[in-house]
């Protein structure tokens, strides 16, 4: 009976967050238009993106608010909920500051790299420290189905994972519906994982995020009415990192977040290749731009990346079951 009620809670949290996001989107997007909070487009980006200039950004506040409201309705506020929300909102605030500077000064770059990384490292340390206190320093190794205690290496490892995840999500946010589609599947994965381990706070949080992202996708799919901006991408990266740590599954992130990892690697490979040889491996990085410049329509890239994520998530379930 208890599992059945928890399942209902998870389903209702997903639905309620979805509905709240739809309502908020219809209210907030027109206001973003009035405030002229439009996106600036990189001059060196694909030419097909120039028409997107002026599309409202900072839309991540829509699903962030829906998640918070849904959590207030359905969840008990324990240390787990407090931590995952603190980290999500903290990273969201860094992204918000970045977006605001871009909009205010009408430029494609906001906070500089040092400022963003400082904030990210501080939040990553906070999450690592409390995760260590709450659940210990061991992590689950997928497929092997055994735990390894990282001991003194836990906090450095976790900080690396968190900062890497947040920035990988942000790099992926370059096509309409790409990050919102990939992320709702990743969140659904963690909703089910946290449900099976019986952590009510975490599965309500993950379910609320899943519903909010599905609702946001209605406005963010091609052609997008609104972009999530760094506000949304950073918040998603923080939330995914927090869920991975609280379930002792940070090692599974390269699998469930395979698109995030590939996108980040494409940028690293491109930079290293150009510095060492003066040549570029890809027509443009991150990888989604390479496919665009190879003749793929934006929607084809997005749908293929969604499909790859879905396959990876099935593999991830197998690895931990």
Calpha distance 249→140 (Å, rounded):
6
Dihedral pair phi/psi, residue 141, rounded to 5°: -100, 110
Residue 50: exposure state from Cβ atoms within 10 A (0-12, 13-18, ≥19)? exposed
Dihedral pair phi/psi, residue 149, rounded to 5°: -85, 120
| Spacing of C-alpha 47 from chain mean position | 26
Could you tell me which residues are annotated as the binding site? 170, 230
- The CA-based angle 14-256-214, given to 5 degrees, is 25
Is residue 176 within 8 Å of 221, Cβ to Cβ? Answer: yes
Could you tell me which residues are annotated as the binding site for Mg(2+)? 170, 230
User: 10 Å Cβ neighbour count for 135?
Assistant: 14
Dihedral pair phi/psi, residue 36, rounded to 5°: 60, 45
Q: What one-character DSSP code corresponds to residue 42? A: P
Calpha distance 61→290 (Å, rounded):
29
**C-alpha distances in Å from residue 316, one per residue of 2, 175, 252, 309:** 26, 25, 7, 10
């Amino acid at each position: 009976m208890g599992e059945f009620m928890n399942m209902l809670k998870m389903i209702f949290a997903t639905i309620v967050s979805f509905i709240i996001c739809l309502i908020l989107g219809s209210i907030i997007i027109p206001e973003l238009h009035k405030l002229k909070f439009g996106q600036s487009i990189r001059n060196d980006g694909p030419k097909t993106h120039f028409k997107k200039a002026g599309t409202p950004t900072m839309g991540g506040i829509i699903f962030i608010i829906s998640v918070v409201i849904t959590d207030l309705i359905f969840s008990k506020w324990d240390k787990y909920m407090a931590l995952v929300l603190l980290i999500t909102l903290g990273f969201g605030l860094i992204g918000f500051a970045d977006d605001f500077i871009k909009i205010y000064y009408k430029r494609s770059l906001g906070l500089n790299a040092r400022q963003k990384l400082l904030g990210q490292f501080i939040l990553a340390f906070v999450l690592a420290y409390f995760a260590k206190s709450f659940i210990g320093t061991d992590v689950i190794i997928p497929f092997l189905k055994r735990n390894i205690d990282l001991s003194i290496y836990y906090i450095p490892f976790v900080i690396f994972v968190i900062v890497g995840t947040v920035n990988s999500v942000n790099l992926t946010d370059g096509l309409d519906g790409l990050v919102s589609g990939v992320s709702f599947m990743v969140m659904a994965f963690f909703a089910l994982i946290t449900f099976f381990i019986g952590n009510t706070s975490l599965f309500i949080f993950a379910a609320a995020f899943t519903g909010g992202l599905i609702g946001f996708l209605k406005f963010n799919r091609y052609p997008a009415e609104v972009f999530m901006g760094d506000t949304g991408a950073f918040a998603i990266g923080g939330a995914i990192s927090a869920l991975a740590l609280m379930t002792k599954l940070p090692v599974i992130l390269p699998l469930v977040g395979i698109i995030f990892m590939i996108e980040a690697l494409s940028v690293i490979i491109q930079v290293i290749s150009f510095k060492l040889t003066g040549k570029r491996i890809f027509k443009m990085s991150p990888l989604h731009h390479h496919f665009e410049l190879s003749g793929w329509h934006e929607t084809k890239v997005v749908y293929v990346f969604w499909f790859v994520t879905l396959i990876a998530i099935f593999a991830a379930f197998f690895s931990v079951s």
